[in-house]
Amino acid sequence: MMIDGKALGAKVRADIRTRIERSQRSVRLDAVLVGEDRAATIYAENQARTCAEAGIEYHLNRLPASAGFEEIAGRILLMNTDESIRAMMLHLPLPSGVDTERVQSLIDPEKDVEGVNPANIGNVVYGRRSLVPCTALAVIEMIETTGISLRGAKCVIVGASNIVGKPIAVLLMRAEATVISANKFTRDLATLTRDADVVIAAAGVPALVKPDWIKPGAVVIDVGINRRVGADGKSTTVGDVDPMVAQVAGAMSPVPGGVGPMTVAMLLRNVVDAALR
């Protein structure tokens, strides 16, 4: 079975629209974009469109590429105190020399819809109400649609970054799964995944996870987004899971059309949660 992230994401976005309409309040997302990075600009343009479709007002706060830590931090602190702003996010990359984590830690945790402030990660660990990083939320929702019971399930997460792999591991621990966090130094990775009920690939390595790494019937979630340029010069997106894994897995999320669109929907859900609470 393929887990259709596009369809799931569309359903979440429809629910969001309904919630906003019922609330009779206006919901707004403020994003900060520093400089002219092309990928970030395209992302911001797409975000403006997605927000409009969901009934969310989108404000893009642009700063020049010459902005340093003080200027960016100043803008964030102003947004923290602005009562008309309840949801905010910071586009990356920041100009070289600016400490990204230091800037992220300034975002008011109650407005931090990407869950990048370490305070929010801490809240996730403690199981407190908080804004959780969107990709991790997307992964958990997608696993849950398969009907598998996470309590006691063996889960292997391939990749342990602060914003993707680690929050996924913590959310699975909260669901009382048995969790193995793997990274590029893990020995005999295939032996670990072969024993798992759920495998999540978030390493950024194209087609890393092979069919013989997977127990028949297991749930496989592919978080990877890797760009490949073919001989014809055309660029395609491939995941961290070999597509042939679909022959073995009980359920699998594809790339594209899996975690990506669901992550966008989870961001919007965090926006509505932050705005309406």
Using the 8-state DSSP alphabet, how is residue 163 labeled? T
**Minimum CB separation from ligand NAD for residue 211, in Å?**
17
**Minimum CB separation from ligand NAD for residue 178, in Å?**
19
**Minimum CB separation from ligand NAD for residue 256, in Å?**
9
Q: Choose between 202 and 272: whose C-beta lies nearer to ligand NAD.
A: 202
Write out 104-146 in H/E/C secondary structure: HCCCCCCCECCCCCHHHHHHHHHCCCCCCCHHHHHHHHHHHCC
Residue 45: how many CB atoms within 10 A of its CB?
11
Q: Choose between 50 and 135: whose C-beta lies nearer to ligand NAD.
A: 135
Which residue of this chain has its Cβ atom nearest to ligand NAD in the complex?
A: 161
Q: Choose between 224 and 254: whose C-beta lies nearer to ligand NAD.
A: 224
Q: Of the candidates 131, 142, 144, which has an alpha carbon nearest to the alpha carbon of residue 222?
A: 142
Q: Choose between 175 and 192: whose C-beta lies nearer to ligand NAD.
A: 192
- Looking only at the bridges linking them, the beta strands covering 235-238 and 226-229 are antiparallel
Per the CB < 8 A criterion, the answer to whether 261 and 6 are in contact is yes
Residues 6+ apart with CB under 8 A from 174: 124, 127
**Minimum CB separation from ligand NAD for residue 141, in Å?**
12
Q: Choose between 79 and 242: whose C-beta lies nearer to ligand NAD.
A: 242
Q: Choose between 204 and 211: whose C-beta lies nearer to ligand NAD.
A: 204
Per the CB < 8 A criterion, the answer to whether 124 and 132 are in contact is yes
DSSP 13-39: HHHHHHHHHHHTS-EEEEEEEES--HH
**Minimum CB separation from ligand NAD for residue 261, in Å?**
9
**Minimum CB separation from ligand NAD for residue 222, in Å?**
8
Using the 8-state DSSP alphabet, how is residue 187 labeled? S
SS3 236: strand
**Minimum CB separation from ligand NAD for residue 225, in Å?**
4
Taken as a whole, the chain contains a residue count of: 277
Q: Choose between 79 and 202: whose C-beta lies nearer to ligand NAD.
A: 202
**Could you list the residues that contact ligand NAD (CB under 6 A)?**
135, 158-161, 163-165, 182-184, 186, 189, 202-205, 208, 223-226, 259-260, 263
